Amino acid sequence: MQNFSISIIGAGNISWHLAKNLFVKGYKINQIYSRKIQNAEAISNLVKAEAIDSISELKNNSDLLIICVTDSAINEVVSKINFQPKLIVHTAGSLDINILQKFNNYGVFYPLQTFSKNSELDISNTPFCIEANTKENEEILKTVAHCLTNAIYELNSEQRQQCHLAAVFANNFSNHMFHIAEKLLSEKNISFDILKPLILETANKVQNTTPLLAQTGPASRNNTITINNHLELLNSSQLEKIYSFVSQNILDYKNGNLP
């Protein structure tokens, strides 16, 4: 969009990817804020923006103000913004749109993806969850999102929070299963490399089938001999609990005991 300008509050992983991609798509980035000026500068230098380390330096000259700070810091940031931005959004999956209700024009611009500064990512597949306090603001956010991605979802706060919860299982918890697997391998001096093709294929499979249909292994076959062998191999009560509960849950779904 010609002459549409954006400022970003926060200099973490989401800020990094949003700023870079919005800049590449031709948006003017005015200011990047971080408590640590070096973090703001690291991004602002890339996208020809001004780096600031105080909210009081934030100018009311942007068409869109994007808050990308960690969930627990948003309220403090909001309390310090003493002007009425043209449009202000947060990017948090778990937070209600109403935390921005002191403003006239506000919304949510939540990219459902795991971002790391040092990991390149094609943002064009990233689902963006959009919510706004008016239909007009929603259209503005959809126009910005369309420049970045093909996947736009209009979700209310309740739906978005459920998405965030689901993402914790799909991303954080599955990643933790990888971590446990790595620990188990290292106990027997086996490289984590051996599991990498399996991990990729696990993710590939559910792109085209449901996780229930993709499921294999001792729990889904109720192979109690292997399950008991595995429980004996685990020398950690925490891991035994996780193994037992997850296995039982797999079997309960398989058998239709759970809705």
Site for a copy of itself in 74-103 (CB under 8 A): 94
Closest CA to 23 of 44, 51, 53, 52: 44
Q: Which of residues 20-79 bind a copy of itself (CB under 8 A)?
A: 70-72
Residue pair 69/10 in contact (Cβ under 8 Å)? The answer is: yes
What's the chain's length in residues?
259
Six token digits for residue 209? 């089938």
Residue 47 CB, shortest distance to a copy of itself, in Å, is: 23
Kindly tell me which residue out of 77, 97, 147, 214 binds a copy of itself, with binding defined by CB under 8 A. Answer: 214
126, 133, 140, 148: which one binds a copy of itself (CB under 8 A): 126
Q: Are 126 and 110 in contact (CB under 8 A)?
A: no
Structure tokens at 161: 């929070």
For a copy of itself, give the closer residue by CB, 24 or 198: 198
DSSP 3-state of 224: helix
Residue 135 sits in the site that holds a copy of itself (CB under 8 A): no
Is residue 171 a contact residue for a copy of itself (CB under 8 A)?
yes
The one among 83, 211, 228, 255 contacting a copy of itself by CB under 8 A = 211
User: By rule CB under 8 A, what count of residues binds a copy of itself?
Assistant: 97
Provide the minimum distance between the beta carbon of 245 and a copy of itself in the complex, in angstroms, as a whole number.
5
Using CB under 8 A as the binding rule, the residues of this chain from 147 to 166 that contact a copy of itself are 151, 153, 155, 158-159, 161-163, 165-166
Query: Using CA atoms, how far apart are residues 22 and 45, in angstroms rounded to an integer?
Result: 14
Nearer to a copy of itself, 26 or 217 (CB): 217
Pick from 79, 80, 77, 108: nearest CA to 94: 108
- Whether the CB-CB separation of 234 and 240 falls below 8 Å is answered with yes
Stretch that binds a copy of itself, among 3-11, 33-41, 42-50, 242-250 (CB under 8 A): 242-250
- Tell how many helices (H) and how many strands (E) occur in the chain: 10, 8
Nearer to a copy of itself, 1 or 184 (CB): 184
